[in-house]
Amino acid sequence: MNTNLSSSAPSQLETDCLVVVVLDPSEKDRAEKDQPAPSVECADPAVREAAKDVMASGEVTGKTFETTLLHRPSGLKAKRLLLLGGGKAKTFSAAELRQLAGTAVRTLKGKSIRSFAFALPENGIAATEGVRAIVEGAFVGNFDPGYYKSDRNDKDKDQKIDAVTIVVPKEVQSDTKPLESSMQAARIVAESQNFTRDLTNEPSNRMTPTILAERAKTMAAEVGLKCEVHDGDKIRQLKMGAFWGVAQGSDEAPALIVLRYEPEGAAKDVHLGLVGKGVTFDSGGISIKPADGMEKMKYDMAGAATMIGVMRAIALLKPKVKVTAIICATENMPSGKAQKPGDVQIAMSGKSIEIINTDAEGRLILADGLCYARQLGCTHLVDAATLTGAVVVALGYVNAGIFASDDPLYERFAKATQQAGEKMWRLPLDDEYKEIIKSNIADMVNSGGRWGGAISAAMFLKEFAEDTPWIHLDIAGTAWMEEQKPWIAKGPSGVALRSLVEFVKGWSA
């Protein structure tokens, strides 16, 4: 999708559709400014005039995601005018704007429209932030997961937006350089998010650990990252007994993927480690899952896909900070070679683990991934994983779970999530929870059972992050959209990528 900036008056723009935001004024504005009706967020009087009749009709409320499409709007060069409800003026921010851009894309591409212009609302969002939000939202909205539909290549049926123009009138920002660079950066982030979604979307027969490693390698070559892929022999050599315990049950070869970004001029004392759970299919192993919904376990590599996408974005945005991604990729399968409940595995760090449930496999592979990251010299760790069903019970499909061993690190990350427009909620790591993972015969068990399941999984990981400041993101409930939304398709969401990129940029020297 092409993205352009335009500084012409919205009414003078020739486009298939001009999109403007409509906001519901606050009660105060209603009274004080004598503004009883929803407002069209565009300073161009011709645009307001074109919308006047339909606005006066009361049909347009400004409710979030409400769409009103006018054809041949009088006085405008645009063929259509789309009025897009943005909700309450008081709470309208870049996060809402991002979703509106996605909504515009999804509304218009469904009508076989290929290009449109989006008028930047003039309600206090900084122009650079607004441009960023619109570009990111538009790319997210343009993604659809129907790869294996046989009419995918039918030009008429493959509905996609080809070009978006963002209209920022000269009065708003005369120097367009910052807007240009904001637009380019947003493109990189959003295309990386869609790359992550592509990887996550693939079924397990088309996204084995080997294929995931190939995709990482190809991407690395394209953007200039170093990439090493280690096989099962190396995993055993490194004494990654927890990782291997999961991998041993599958006929598909595991892969330990390492992506390195080492820019010149990076701060000497910071080395970020990003660890991703890459279970390309989670059957549960011998503690096998019920058939109902098992097909969804193809997305159990979303954490890995996220970290690979983050590395892509980082390589192109070039912040001055050293970053290494460690991806543990394997299937979790039952077989004659599979590990069994009651088995004991020795992790790379030397700690022993009693396997209570082979379906608690994510924490096993991450235990060795985190340990390896520390061995490589990482000073700060972040992992992303579709780790527990329990986090879905706790937070539903809205917030990802975030755990942090270090408050300042959490603060940094929380700021990044806000700027990225992603929702995450912190869960606790009190020492009392350690009780749950005590074992009779080993250092710990791999499953603490039902209560506080997301927390006990995080407590387990903490044993392997040790004293390195660490953040754990449990994205089991948020990496996959169960339903489509006006701004995003049903399927892989690419959640956490934007926050992680923002977080990494924050360390740039």
Q: Tell me the C-alpha distance between 193 and 377, whole Å.
A: 27
Closest separation in Å from C-beta 318 to Mn ion: 37
Nearer to Mn ion, 287 or 405 (CB): 287
Nearer to ligand BES, 96 or 300 (CB): 300
- Residue 362 makes contact with ligand BES by CB under 6 A: yes
- Residue 331 makes contact with Zn ion by CB under 5 A: no
- Residue 278 makes contact with Zn ion by CB under 5 A: no
**Cβ pair 180, 273 in contact under 8 A:** no
Residues near ligand BES (CB under 6 A), total: 16
- Per the listing, tokens 């259509």 go with 80
User: Which is it for the CA torsion 496, 162, 133, 92, positive or negative?
Assistant: negative
Binding Zn ion by CB under 5 A: which of 66, 282, 368, 422?
282
The residue number with the shortest CB distance to ligand BES is 389
> What is the footprint of Mn ion within residues 18-57 (CB under 5 A)?
none
451 by Cβ neighbours in 10 Å (0-12 / 13-18 / 19+) ranks as exposed
- Which listed option, Mn ion, ligand BES, Zn ion, none, makes contact with residue 41 (CB within 5 to 8 Å by class)? none
Which residue, 423, 208, 419, is CA-closest to 304?
Answer: 208
**What angle, rounded to 10 degrees, do the helices at 407-420 and 497-505 form?**
120
* 80-88 and 67-71 beta bridge pairing: antiparallel
Binding Mn ion by CB under 5 A: which of 359, 368, 474, 502?
359
- Per the listing, tokens 């011709």 go with 46
Alpha carbon distances (Å) from 457 to 366, 390, 428: 11, 9, 12
Which residue, 240, 325, 251, 256, is CA-closest to 281?
Answer: 251
Alpha carbon distances (Å) from 182 to 191, 306, 326, 400: 14, 22, 29, 26
> What is the footprint of Mn ion within residues 242-301 (CB under 5 A)?
282
Residues near Zn ion (CB under 5 A), total: 4
Closest separation in Å from C-beta 279 to Mn ion: 7
Closest separation in Å from C-beta 300 to ligand BES: 4
Nearer to Mn ion, 361 or 463 (CB): 361
- Residue 474 makes contact with Mn ion by CB under 5 A: no
Candidate segments 33-41, 187-195, 294-302, 406-414, binder of Zn ion by CB under 5 A: 294-302
**Cβ pair 334, 286 in contact under 8 A:** yes
Alpha carbon distances (Å) from 225 to 80, 98, 198, 260: 44, 29, 20, 6
Alpha carbon distances (Å) from 495 to 99, 324, 369, 486: 14, 20, 21, 17
- Residue 331 makes contact with Mn ion by CB under 5 A: no
Nearer to Zn ion, 66 or 300 (CB): 300
Closest separation in Å from C-beta 282 to Mn ion: 4
Q: Which residues neighbour 194 within 8 Å (Cβ) at sequence distance 6 or greater?
A: 139, 140, 142, 143, 494
- Residue 362 makes contact with Zn ion by CB under 5 A: yes
Closest separation in Å from C-beta 149 to ligand BES: 25
Closest separation in Å from C-beta 329 to ligand BES: 14
Give the CA dihedral 181, 417, 464, 208, nearest 10 degrees. Answer: -70
Candidate segments 122-130, 177-185, 245-253, 273-281, binder of Zn ion by CB under 5 A: 273-281
Candidate segments 84-92, 127-135, 300-308, 313-321, binder of Zn ion by CB under 5 A: 300-308
> What is the footprint of ligand BES within residues 126-145 (CB under 6 A)?
none
Closest separation in Å from C-beta 91 to Mn ion: 38
What DSSP character marks residue 371?
A: H
> What is the footprint of Zn ion within residues 111-150 (CB under 5 A)?
none
Binding ligand BES by CB under 6 A: which of 145, 263, 341, 389?
389
What DSSP character marks residue 11?
A: G
- Residue 354 makes contact with Mn ion by CB under 5 A: no
Closest separation in Å from C-beta 482 to ligand BES: 10
- Residue 254 makes contact with Zn ion by CB under 5 A: no
Nearer to Zn ion, 198 or 361 (CB): 361
* Helical residues (DSSP H) of 57-126, grouped into ranges: 94-109
Which residues are designated catalytic? 289, 363
Binding ligand BES by CB under 6 A: which of 235, 315, 371, 476?
476
Contact footprint for ligand BES (CB under 6 A): 282, 300, 357, 359-362, 386-390, 392, 447, 453, 476
- Binding footprint of Mn ion on the chain (CB under 5 A): 282, 359, 361
